[in-house]
């Protein structure tokens, strides 16, 4: 057919057809006598093939290789696909940058910034793309790397082995040359060098006896221009083999993953329980307030006592005791100007209606001296507060009931005839001792509370004012009640030692009653029980921790031992075909560790999501589990590789 007909059939112009002829891609026949081109059906098919490949943007050199048969069209298409995908990634990056520039509202485009971003995208994207391309190439090579066939008979000697290899090469029409004889021979078949190994299989080909399977593996070529460097090839090859084996043995891989997930989840909750016990021990002192009170020896009185000056000194000097609430009681009677009449001596007659017979006065240094009292319970005279009250030498607070009964008012000055209690018969009885009268200024009133421990005194005085009264009357001061707090509950032993040094003893119930403040009662029993319980829990959990890690290490040994027990022949074939012991063991080890690592990380994340551990604890559990687990797996892998390769391949082991 002529050129015009070819144009119609192919849709190509005359110029394009001539161009491909000049490039040597097409050689049409010539008619005798006139030298006109005479195109055949094969020429038309070739032109259509060229047109298709050019539409795929394939270079002319690659098209020439396809037409000459140097490269198959499938291989050329695969290469072009990779090249097009690389261009596609570059175009996508360019599109992204163009979109960013288009969105710039300002006319001044940051050229340096965009240039740096594009260079970064080029480097990072290019590195990833190169890895993907190399990985695809290695995968393709691995698919073509190995073949196998069955021998016609026994293969017991090196000569019989060579004979079977030559027979197979002859059947395939390939050139054969023996390079190295032996149990694992090396030979040249076609243009590639191979290593072979024989494996005895039972009842595969001959029902009457075992068959010999010969497995041949192509040796990896050395580092040559345009090829992947050997070190990079080995890494990519290892990744591929591990991925394939994990997928091939997916049931075992999933089992390994689930076991690790469950183990780490349980371990995380276990370590979380230990952490909770430790936190409880740390936080309990902050949640508990340990208080102490001075009582008499038999434990019946904690107010109206005689607490010696020496006891007070020792407690105030202790660094383990804080917030000491001290009070001192006095008795008195109103002497003038308070809602009633007076007799010739100026005193309010006892028993007159509305006037209390005896007035109870208490010197206090803290609100805690009066059970349940708060700032809201006090109605102050204008310009007065608790601090000014404590610093005053003549101020007083009166109870609301005393105000109603006596008729006194806030801001008034009142005079009391005072008495104090003194010990009689070694503190078993009380006597009253008269003191000089005192005048006090009513600075406010306070609310009474029913059932208040120690009662509701009629009048409250600053503690220092009461101490001054004792000093003016030249008598020894005794406190009537005292309570305190332990500054640090964790130093409870030191607190008790300080109390003992101050002369205070434990309460002895049933001992004779007295008014001497010589015993102490601590509210430490709940705190001690809680601390002991938390410490027991912590100690118990920590005592089993070494066994937990021992179990993890045992699991790391047992699980791979079970999973690899039927893969000795696979490992033996790898070793026989030239795979190094270290490389082969590393592949099997990685194949087992990767699912365990993924399962362990998933379990740690689930435990963290459930609140058993925080992020730091999650990473600690995961890392600790994997470290211990890998030790066990390494031991299993070491033992796994200790067998005779020849015995396994011959099924004698």
- Domain covering 3-109: architecture: Orthogonal Bundle (1.10)
**Residue bearing tokens 């101020």:** 395
Closest CA to 361 of 317, 307, 402: 402
Top-confidence residue, 133 or 269:
269
Residue 522 structure tokens: 């601590």
Average pLDDT over residues 422-431: 72
Q: Are 217 and 577 in contact (CB under 8 A)?
A: yes
Query: Domain ranges in the chain?
Result: 3-109, 141-227, 250-276+531-649, 291-523
- DSSP states of 521-583: EE--HHHHHHHHHHHHHHHHHHHHHHHHHHHHHHHHHHHHHHHTTT-HHHHHHHHHTT--HHH
- φ/ψ of 34, rounded to 5, equals -115, -10
pLDDT, residue 351, reads: 45
- DSSP states of 623-641: HHHHHHHHHHHHHHHHHHT
**pLDDT band per the 50, 70, 90 thresholds, residue 356:** low
Q: Which residues, in sequence order, are CB contacts of 523 under 8 Å at separation 6+?
A: 290, 291, 292
pLDDT, one tens digit per residue, over 11-70 is 888 888 888 888 888 888 876 656 677 888 888 888 888 888 888 888 888 888 888 877
- DSSP states of 452-507: -TT---SEEEEHHHHHHHHHHTT----BSEEEEEES-GGGHHHHHHHHHHTT-EE-
Q: Above 70 in pLDDT, residue 336?
A: no
Lowest mean pLDDT: which of 164-168, 247-251, 351-355, 424-428? 351-355
With a threshold of 0.85, does the pTM exceed it? Answer: no
Q: Above 60 in pLDDT, residue 449?
A: yes
pLDDT, one tens digit per residue, over 372-411 is 899 999 999 998 999 999 999 999 999 999 999 988 999 9
Q: Which residues pair with 292 in a beta bridge?
A: 484, 522
Residue 210 structure tokens: 């075992």
Q: Are 439 and 496 in contact (CB under 8 A)?
A: no
Cα-only R_g, the chain: 50
pLDDT, residue 653, reads: 54
d(CA 390, CA 381): 14
pLDDT, residue 205, reads: 45
pLDDT-above-70 percentage for the chain = 86
Closest CA to 233 of 223, 219, 247: 223
Top-confidence residue, 467 or 578:
467
* Separation in Å, CA 540 to CA 311, 414, 565: 42, 67, 37
With vertex at residue 78, the alpha carbon angle to CA 74 and CA 83, rounded to the nearest 5 degrees, is 145
How far does the chain reach from its first CA to its final CA, in angstroms?
A: 72
pLDDT, residue 393, reads: 92
**Beta strand ranges found along 350-458 (DSSP E):** 359-364, 378-380, 395-399, 413-424, 429-434, 438-446
Q: Above 90 in pLDDT, residue 89?
A: no
Q: Above 60 in pLDDT, residue 203?
A: no
pLDDT, one tens digit per residue, over 585-644 is 788 888 888 898 999 999 999 998 988 888 888 898 898 888 888 888 888 888 877 767
pLDDT, residue 225, reads: 44
d(CA 260, CA 253): 11
pLDDT, residue 77, reads: 86
pLDDT, one tens digit per residue, over 186-197 is 998 877 888 999
**pLDDT band per the 50, 70, 90 thresholds, residue 648:** low
Q: Which residues, in sequence order, are CB contacts of 599 under 8 Å at separation 6+?
A: 256, 257, 258, 259, 260, 261, 264
pLDDT, residue 34, reads: 60
Residue 554 structure tokens: 């045992």
pLDDT, residue 298, reads: 93
**pLDDT band per the 50, 70, 90 thresholds, residue 219:** confident
Q: Are 639 and 561 in contact (CB under 8 A)?
A: yes
% helix, strand, coil for the chain, step of 5? 50, 20, 30
**pLDDT band per the 50, 70, 90 thresholds, residue 100:** confident
pLDDT, residue 237, reads: 75
């Amino acid at each position: 057919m002529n050129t015009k007909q070819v144009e119609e059939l192919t849709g190509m112009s005359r110029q394009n057809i001539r161009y491909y002829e000049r490039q040597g891609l097409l050689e049409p026949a010539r008619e005798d006598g006139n030298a006109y081109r005479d195109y055949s059906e094969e020429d038309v098919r070739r032109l259509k093939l060229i047109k298709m490949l050019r539409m795929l943007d394939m270079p002319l050199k690659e098209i020439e290789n396809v037409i000459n048969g140097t490269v198959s069209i499938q291989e050329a298409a695969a290469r072009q696909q990779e090249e097009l995908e690389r261009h596609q990634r570059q175009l996508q990056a360019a599109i992204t940058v163009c979109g960013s520039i288009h969105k710039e509202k300002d006319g001044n485009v940051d050229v340096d910034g965009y240039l740096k971003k594009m260079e970064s995208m080029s480097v990072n994207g290019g590195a990833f793309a190169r890895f993907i391309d190399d990985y695809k190439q290695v995968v393709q090579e691995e698919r073509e790397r190995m073949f196998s066939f069955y021998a016609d008979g026994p293969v017991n000697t090196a000569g019989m082995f060579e004979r079977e290899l030559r027979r197979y090469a002859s059947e395939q029409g390939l050139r054969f040359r023996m390079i190295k004889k032996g149990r694992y021979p090396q030979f040249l078949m076609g243009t590639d060098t191979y290593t072979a190994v024989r494996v005895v299989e039972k009842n595969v080909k001959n029902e009457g006896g075992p068959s010999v399977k010969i497995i041949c593996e192509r040796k990896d070529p050395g580092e040559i221009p345009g090829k992947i460097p050997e070190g990079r090839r080995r890494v990519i090859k290892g990744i591929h083999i591990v991925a394939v084996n994990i997928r091939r043995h997916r049931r075992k891989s999933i089992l390994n993953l689930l076991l690790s997930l469950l183990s780490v989840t349980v371990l995380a909750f276990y370590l979380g329980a230990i952490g909770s016990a430790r936190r409880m021990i740390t936080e309990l002192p902050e949640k508990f307030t340990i208080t102490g009170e001075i009582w008499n020896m038999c434990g019946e009185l904690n107010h109206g006592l005689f607490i010696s000056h020496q006891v007070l000194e020792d407690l105030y000097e202790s660094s383990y005791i804080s917030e000491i609430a001290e009070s001192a009681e006095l008795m008195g009677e109103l002497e003038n100007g308070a809602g009633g009449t007076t007799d010739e001596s100026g005193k309010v007659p006892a028993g007159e209606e509305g006037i209390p017979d005896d007035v109870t006065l208490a010197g206090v240094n803290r609100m805690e001296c009066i059970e349940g009292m708060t700032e809201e319970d006090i109605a102050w005279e204008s310009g007065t507060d608790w601090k000014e009250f404590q610093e005053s030498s003549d101020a007083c607070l009166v109870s609301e009931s005393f105000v109603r009964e006596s008729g006194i008012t806030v801001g008034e000055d009142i005079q009391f005839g005072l008495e104090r209690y003194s010990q009689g018969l070694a503190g078993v009885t009380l006597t009253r001792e008269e003191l000089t009268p005192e005048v006090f200024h009513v600075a406010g009133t306070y609310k009474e509370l029913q059932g208040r421990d120690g009662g509701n005194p009629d009048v409250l005085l600053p503690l220092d004012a009461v101490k001054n009264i004792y000093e003016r009357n030249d008598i020894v001061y005794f406190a009537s009640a005292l309570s305190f707090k332990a500054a640090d509950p964790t130093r409870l032993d030191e607190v008790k030692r300080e109390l003992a040094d101050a002369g205070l003893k434990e309460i002895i119930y049933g001992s004779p009653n007295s008014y001497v403040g010589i015993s102490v009662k601590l509210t430490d029993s709940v705190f001690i029980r809680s601390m002991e319980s938390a410490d027991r829990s912590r100690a118990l959990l920590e005592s089993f921790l070494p066994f937990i890690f021992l179990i993890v290490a045992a699991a790391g040994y047992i699980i791979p031992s079970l999973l690899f027990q039927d893969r000795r022949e696979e490992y033996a074939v790898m070793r026989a075909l030239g795979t190094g012991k270290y490389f082969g063991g590393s592949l099997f080890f990685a194949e087992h560790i990767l699912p365990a690592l993924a399962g362990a990380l998933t379990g740690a994340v689930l435990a963290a999501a459930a609140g058993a551990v925080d992020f730091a604890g999650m990473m600690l559990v995961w890392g600790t589990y994997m470290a211990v687990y890998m030790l066990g797996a390494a031991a299993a892998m070491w033992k796994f590789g200790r067998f005779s390769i020849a015995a396994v391949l011959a099924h004698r082991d």
